[in-house]
């Protein structure tokens, strides 16, 4: 039941063997060879891009990460580059600023991902089973934030959070409530979480909803015959059916969280609480690009890549049985 409509296409489109088929035998040898080469030809553009823009840069980052720039005297002469082996990696693993960032994104993910996923899932289930009118409107409304680039969203929410523009604070002051300091040290992480939630809840919801819509109706009939109520159907039948979509959604959220970059970078100008090592990605950027230590920055980036890989790979292994991804 991969796709219930595919067989229809087969029935309609299956061609009858024609006279060409008879001729084909003579060319079989050549075509066999062709068939062996063709997949490589099809994959070649991708593999070329992969080599040029993934493999080479990654290898280059690794090759840089075992060097270090060395100055001498007053440091005003041109620096020399020396080989330091794995020193940069050892330094990163002991670097409290790096771990500070890792801890922060893990905390961020532990709160933001479940909240976003539960809301998205609840909305999708509600829309699938209880809401018939305005579906198009709701789906578009939820999806629009996804179409807003992260940087634009950051600028926009920056206005929303900043004391002199914020309509929320304006509302709070007029009603006499204490105006929240969205950019203060206590709240700023959750202000960023809100931006991420705003951007991606609708996206996940639409994916879940589409998956729900693809479930064949006969299953529900069977469920109802078994005496399940709507909640039961949602939890016992629908949820397991859309597990692959859930797993993919979770996976992308996890990767996105570990790579958190644009939103805090844009808010840096507005909030003193966002340090140069606020997230590991911002730290890698600052070390490599601002402090121009490409070598140490490379090591941090490689570790971050491995951590992300480990997390997501582990997650995939963990869920493989259920999800079939």
Partner 1 sequence: MADVPAVLEARRREHDERERRGVGVGVRALGPKNLLAYLALGAVAVYCLTPIYWLALSATKNNTDLFSSFGLWFAHFNLWQNLRDTLTHSDGVYIRWIGNTALYAGVGAFAGTLISVMAGYALAKYRFVGRGLIFTLVLGAVLVPQTTLALPTYLLMSKVSLTNTYWAVLLPSLLNPVGVYLARVYATAGVPDDLIDAARVDGAGEFRIFTRVALPLLRPGMVTIFLFQFVAIWNNFFLPLVVLSDPNLFPINLGLATWNFDPASHELLYNLIVTGAFLSVLPLIAMFLVLQRYWRAGLAFGSVTG
Partner 2 sequence: MRNWRHRASLCLALFLGVASVLSACSGGGASSGGVVQLTFWSFNQQITEQADLFNKSHPNIHVTALKQPSGPNQYYPKVLTAVKAGNAPDVALIEYQYIPTMVSNAALVDVSKYGANGVKDQFVDSAWAQVTQGRAVYGYPQDTGPMGFFYNSATFKKAGITHPPATWDEFAQDAVKIHALGPNYYITAFPPQSTGWFQGLMWQAGATWFSVDTAANAWKVSVNDATSKKVASYWQALVDKGLVSTVADFSNDWNAALNKGTIASWISAVWGQGVITGSAADTKGQWTAAPIPQWTAGAKTSAMWGGSAISVIAGTKHPQEANEFAQWYLTNSGSLSIGVKEIGWFPSNKTAQQSSDVNAPQAFYGNQVVDTVFEQAEIPTTWTWPPNLTAVNQFMGDDVNAAVANKTPIVDALDKLQGQIVQDMKSNGINVAGG
**Which residues are at the interface with partner 2 (CB under 8 A)?**
48, 51-52, 56, 59-60, 63, 66, 69-79, 83, 158-159, 162-165, 184-185, 268-270, 272-273, 275-277, 286, 289-292, 294
Quick check: helix, strand or coil at residue 166?
A: coil
Does position 123 interact with partner 1 (CB under 8 A)? The reply is yes
* Cross-strand pairs, 70: 80
Contact letters for partner 1, residues 59-98 (x by CB under 8 A): -xx--x----------------------------------
Q: Which is nearer to partner 1, 84 or 125 (CB)?
A: 125
Output the smallest distance, CB 151 to partner 1, in A: 4
Binding residues among 7-46 for partner 1 as defined by CB under 8 A: 7-10, 12-15, 17-18, 20-21, 23-24, 27, 31, 34-36, 38-40, 42-43, 45-46
Output the smallest distance, CB 199 to partner 1, in A: 10
Q: Identify what 33 binds: partner 2, partner 1, none; CB under 5 to 8 Å per kind.
A: none
Beta strand ranges found along the chain (DSSP E): 67-70, 80-83
Whole-number Å distance between alpha carbons of 72 and 88: 19
Whole-number Å distance between alpha carbons of 207 and 253: 13
Q: Are 283 and 276 contacting, i.e. CB atoms less than 8 angstroms apart?
A: yes
Output the smallest distance, CB 190 to partner 2, in A: 15
Output the smallest distance, CB 73 to partner 2, in A: 5
Largest CA distance in the chain: 88
Q: Which is nearer to partner 2, 289 or 313 (CB)?
A: 289
Task: Please compute, for residue 267, the number of CA atoms within 13 A of its CA located in the half-sphere on the CB side.
Answer: 37
Near partner 1 by CB under 8 A: residue from 67, 98, 278, 294? 294
Tokens 């409530």 found at: 177
Sign of the C-alpha dihedral, residues 274, 280, 283, 284?
negative
Tokens 């794995």 found at: 86
Q: Identify what 118 binds: partner 2, partner 1, none; CB under 5 to 8 Å per kind.
A: none
Q: How many residues bind partner 1 (CB under 8 A)?
A: 130
Q: How many residues does the chain have?
A: 325
Token pair for 140: 């578009």
Output the smallest distance, CB 73 to partner 1, in A: 28
Output the smallest distance, CB 244 to partner 1, in A: 5
Q: Identify what 119 binds: partner 1, partner 2, none; CB under 5 to 8 Å per kind.
A: partner 1
Does position 193 interact with partner 1 (CB under 8 A)? The reply is no
Q: Identify what 89 binds: partner 1, partner 2, none; CB under 5 to 8 Å per kind.
A: none
Whole-number Å distance between alpha carbons of 320 and 314: 10
Near partner 1 by CB under 8 A: residue from 105, 196, 258, 299? 258
Tokens 């809301």 found at: 119
Whole-number Å distance between alpha carbons of 282 and 274: 10
Q: Are 128 and 212 contacting, i.e. CB atoms less than 8 angstroms apart?
A: yes
Token pair for 23: 């001729």
Near partner 1 by CB under 8 A: residue from 71, 103, 269, 320? 269
């Amino acid at each position: 039941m991969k796709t219930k409509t595919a067989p229809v296409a087969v029935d309609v489109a299956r061609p009858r063997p024609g006279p060409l088929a008879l001729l084909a035998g003579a060319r079989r040898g050549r075509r066999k060879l062709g068939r062996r080469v063709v997949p490589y030809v099809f994959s070649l553009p991708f593999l070329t891009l992969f080599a040029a823009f993934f493999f080479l840069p990654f290898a280059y980052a690794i090759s840089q990460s075992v060097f270090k720039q060395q100055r001498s005297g007053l440091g005003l002469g041109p620096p020399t580059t020396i080989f330091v082996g794995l020193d940069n990696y050892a330094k990163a693993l002991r670097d409290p600023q790096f771990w500070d960032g890792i801890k922060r994104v893990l905390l961020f993910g532990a709160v933001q991902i479940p909240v976003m996923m539960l809301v998205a899932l609840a909305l999708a289930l509600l829309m699938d089973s209880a809401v018939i009118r305005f579906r198009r409107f709701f789906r578009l409304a939820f999806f629009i934030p996804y179409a807003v680039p992260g940087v634009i969203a950051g600028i926009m929410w920056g206005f929303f959070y900043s004391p002199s523009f914020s309509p929320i604070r304006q509302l709070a002051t007029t009603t006499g409530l204490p105006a929240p300091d969205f950019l203060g040290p206590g709240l700023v992480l959750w202000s960023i979480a809100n931006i991420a939630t705003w951007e991606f809840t609708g996206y996940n919801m639409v994916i879940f909803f589409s998956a729900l819509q693809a479930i064949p109706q006969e299953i529900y009939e069977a469920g109802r015959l078994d005496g399940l109520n709507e909640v039961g159907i949602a939890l016992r039948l629908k949820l397991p059916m859309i597990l692959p979509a859930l797993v993919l959604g979770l996976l992308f959220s996890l990767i996105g969280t570990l790579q958190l970059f644009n939103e805090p970078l844009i808010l840096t100008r507005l909030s003193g609480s966002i340090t140069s090592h606020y997230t590991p990605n911002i730290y890698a950027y600052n070390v490599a690009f601002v402090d121009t230590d490409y070598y140490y920055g490379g090591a941090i980036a490689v570790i971050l890549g491995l951590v992300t890989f480990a997390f997501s790979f582990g997650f995939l292994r963990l869920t493989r049985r259920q999800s079939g991804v």
